[in-house]
Amino acid sequence: MKNPTKHLKRLTAVGAVALAAFSLSPAAASALPSGNPAGDGEPGTTIVGGTRAEQGEFPFMVRLSMGCGGALLEKDIVLTAAHCVDGSGSDTSITATGGVVDLEDPAAVTAKSTEVLQAPGYDGQGKDWALIKLDKALDQPTLPIAKDDAYNEGDFTIAGWGADQEGGDQQRYLLKAEVPFVDDATCKSAYPDLVEGEELCAGKLDTGGVDSCQGDSGGPMFRKDDAGEWVQVGIVSWGDGCARPGKPGVYTEVSTFAADIEDAAAQLGG
Ligand code: ARG
């Protein structure tokens, strides 16, 4: 599940260098900043092209121990990417860390996974969402998901502890950036096998320079709704490298799966 067939197909088409560039795999756990506390990058150069988030700015953000991001859908359920998990079922291997921007802050709150629910039918093409049930509630605000496509436009916020550049280190401090919506037709010309309706693109098409990157996967892409509250419209999924001009980030289109996600959360007792 961590090595979707889509990307294996691309290996033959575009070569081994692009396998790494297109990889859906979460950052290796060994790349987490615990052994590398200085891995916080230059100020102003991170998620790619982002800046540090303020403590409490995105309180629904969690870091997952396999090297992915996520968002609290419920206080004890994390929404992340399907490619970050190994299928569905009982799973006590994942630690979720929340409540902090600095992963080494002693005020961090953590919980362990009890169960994982990967999107039914996930095969590496689209449907890149999964839920992780936690063994206890993290006492933090949750992030509501978009129920229809009304918010699939405009500028979005992305945040994560992933690499600050293609091939870069995982981050100790949460980084954030803003990326504009890219319409399906334009995105399809960059990525012919984009799954329209299941995937949503965002990025600075002309210049590049701002993007999510390896280790941000599973984390939310979000914006303000009409009431001025954060709403999640995407899940960091994949891209060709990071922040390349003409190569936007690809995000799971949350509104498409909103009903499925809510049903799945109910199954997990959310
Ligand atoms: N698949 C990557 C991960 O597992 C995320 C890549 C996002 N890439 C991008 N160019 N936006 O962390």
Give me the amino acid identity at 246: G
pLDDT tens sequence across 104-153: 999 999 999 999 999 999 999 999 999 999 999 999 999 999 999 999 99
Q: Is 251 in the pocket of ligand 1 (CB under 6 A)?
A: no
**Distance in Å, CA 25 to ligand 1 centroid:** 8
In a domain, 239, yes or no: no
Under the banding of pLDDT at 50, 70 and 90, the label for residue 163 is very high
Where residue 96 sits, what CATH number does that domain have? Answer: 2.40.10.10
In a domain, 176, yes or no: no
Residue 15 has pLDDT above 60, yes or no: no
pLDDT tens sequence across 52-99: 999 999 999 999 999 999 999 999 999 999 999 999 999 999 999 999
Contact yes or no for 22/238 (Cβ under 8 A): yes
pLDDT tens sequence across 167-191: 999 999 999 999 999 999 999 999 9
Q: Identify the pLDDT of residue 167.
A: 95
CA 168 to CA 1: how far, in whole Å?
Answer: 23
SS (H, E, C) 175-198: EEEEEEEECHHHHHHHCCCCCECC
N-term to C-term CA, the chain? 25
For the CA of 25, the closest atom of ligand 1 is 4
Give the CA count within 13 Å in the CB-facing half-sphere of 29. Answer: 9
In a domain, 240, yes or no: no
Q: Is 170 in the pocket of ligand 1 (CB under 6 A)?
A: no
Active site (catalytic) residues:
83, 128, 217
Residue 41 has pLDDT above 60, yes or no: no
Q: Identify the pLDDT of residue 260.
A: 98
Q: Is 239 in the pocket of ligand 1 (CB under 6 A)?
A: yes
In a domain, 101, yes or no: yes
Q: Is 219 in the pocket of ligand 1 (CB under 6 A)?
A: no
In a domain, 219, yes or no: no
In a domain, 148, yes or no: no
Can you say how many angstroms the Cα of residue 94 is from the centroid of all Cα atoms in its chain? 16
Mutate to test the pocket of ligand 1, among 63, 204, 236 (most ligand atoms within 8 A of CB): 236
Q: Residue 84's domain spans which residues?
A: 21-40+60-142+258-267
**Distance in Å, CA 255 to ligand 1 centroid:** 20
Global pTM reads: 0.87
Number of structural domains found in the chain: 1
Under the banding of pLDDT at 50, 70 and 90, the label for residue 215 is very high
